[in-house]
Structure 1
Amino acid sequence: MPSRSAERTGAAAWHAAAPEVELWSDYDPAVRELPGVALGRRTLPGTAEAEITELHRAGVRCLRLTEPVRLCADAPAASARALMLLREATGQGLAVLWQAVCTDGCAARRRFHHLYPPERLTGGPDGLAADWRATYYPSKCVFRRGPGFVEVRDRRFGTLELFTIDEPGHLAQLEALAEGVEAGLLPDAVRRDFTEAGLIAEQAGRAWFLPMRVRRWPFPSLTV
């Protein structure tokens, strides 16, 4: 069992690994070259949801992750936090410029293919980045809350998979999983069930929830 000192060190490293982003107020690459459209660089130390919500309210419509993002299980905290930021930005409808890195073949499993596609994928199979871009559409893996349950609608792998989360122990962990919780603190049943369903990633000692919250339905909504 990790010592309290090790836990504090791990938590400090996680919180210190804040993503740095470059910001613009428009989606269009040509428009982003115009004066006044670039909004500079910023480090985002807060929670992914709060940071992206604030950026959107401030008029940001495109951001660039300044560092490559590793997709693999051994990804550092900086990459895990960048992926959670990417999840929230995708759900909010922002364009994201980023570069992905994969060295263990995980990218081919399409676990992250509901996220805004990368400009480049280093280390993945030939053509995978192009396929990611060609098959991407909004709300590919989302969740929404109902009274006493959460429904996940997942089309990352082609066909629609529906998951209804209604066990109290599982529901109780969702808020923490949204921003990453120490994987060893998850109840065994919760960790097993979410892992088997492909709904969580584990990186840098943390588990985090992959589906995006529904902010708006795309048209036509039946595609979700």
Structure 2
Amino acid sequence: MPSRSAERTGAAAWHAAGPEVELWLDYDPAVRELPGIALGRRTLSGPAETEVTELHRAGVRCLRLTGPVRLCADASAASARALMLLREATGQGLAVLWRAVCADGCAAGRRFHHLYPPEELTGPEPELLADWRATYFPSKCVLRRGPGFVEVRDRRFGTLELFTIDDPGHLAALDALAEGVEVGLLPETVHRDLAEAGLIAEQAGRAWFLPMRVRRWPFPSLTV
């Protein structure tokens, strides 16, 4: 069992691994070249949901992740934090410029295909990028909260899959999972159920929830 000091060190490393981004006030590449549109670089070390909400309120509409993002299970804390930021930025409707790296073929499983597609995909199957870009649409894997339950609508794998989470223990874990929780701290049944449903990623010793919150409906609701 890890010592308390090791746990604190791991937590500190996780929170210190916030991604560095470049920011712009417009989506259009030509407009981004105009004076006053670029906001420079910034390290986003806070919770992904809070950071993206504040960026959107400040007028940011496009961001670039400056470093490559690894999709694999052995990804670093920096890549996991970047993917969580991507989840929130995609849900907020921001354009995200980023480079994905997949060394173990996991991209073929479409686990991250609800996220804004990368500009390039490095790995054994780079042709998967075309599929990712061709099949992407906003709100492809989303959650929405009701009184005493969370509903997940998932179209990453083609057909619509619906999950209703209403067990108190599972609901209690979702807030922690939004920003990543140590895998060993998840109740066994919560970990098993969410992993079998493909709703969590596990990287850098932490599990985090893949579906994004609905902030607006981009299409008629039946499409989502």
TM-score by length of 1: 0.99
- The alpha carbon displacement at 1:124 in A equals 4.3
Per the alignment, residue 182 of structure 2 pairs with 182
- What is the identity, as a one-letter code, of the residue corresponding to 2:125? P
CA distance in 1, matches of 2:73, 2:184: 15
Q: Which runs of 4+ in 1 moved over 2 A?
A: none
- The alpha carbon displacement at 1:126 in A equals 3.7
CA distance in 2, matches of 1:6, 1:205: 12
Contact conserved, 1:99 with 1:119, CA < 8 A, in 2? Answer: yes
Secondary structure of the 2:55 match is: helix
May I ask how many residue pairs the two structures share in their alignment? 224
Per the alignment, residue 172 of structure 1 pairs with 172
CA distance in 1, matches of 2:129, 2:88: 20
Contact conserved, 1:108 with 1:124, CA < 8 A, in 2? Answer: no
TM-score by length of 2: 0.99
Per the alignment, residue 4 of structure 1 pairs with 4
- What is the identity, as a one-letter code, of the residue corresponding to 1:25? L
Task: Write the deviation string for residues 63-88 of structure 1: whole angstroms up to 9, x where unpaired.
Answer: 00000000000000000000000000
CA distance in 2, matches of 1:52, 1:220: 25
CA distance in 2, matches of 1:6, 1:71: 25
Q: How does 1:1-224 map to 2 (within 5 A)?
A: 1-224=1-224
Aligned Cα RMSD in Å?
Answer: 0.7
Task: Write the deviation string for residues 30-51 of structure 1: whole angstroms up to 9, x where unpaired.
Answer: 1111111111110111000000
Secondary structure of the 1:26 match is: coil
Task: Write the deviation string for residues 129-151 of structure 1: whole angstroms up to 9, x where unpaired.
Answer: 11111110000000000110000
- What is the identity, as a one-letter code, of the residue corresponding to 2:182? E
Unaligned runs of 5+ in 1: none
Change (3 A) 1:95 1:2: same
Unaligned runs of 5+ in 2: none
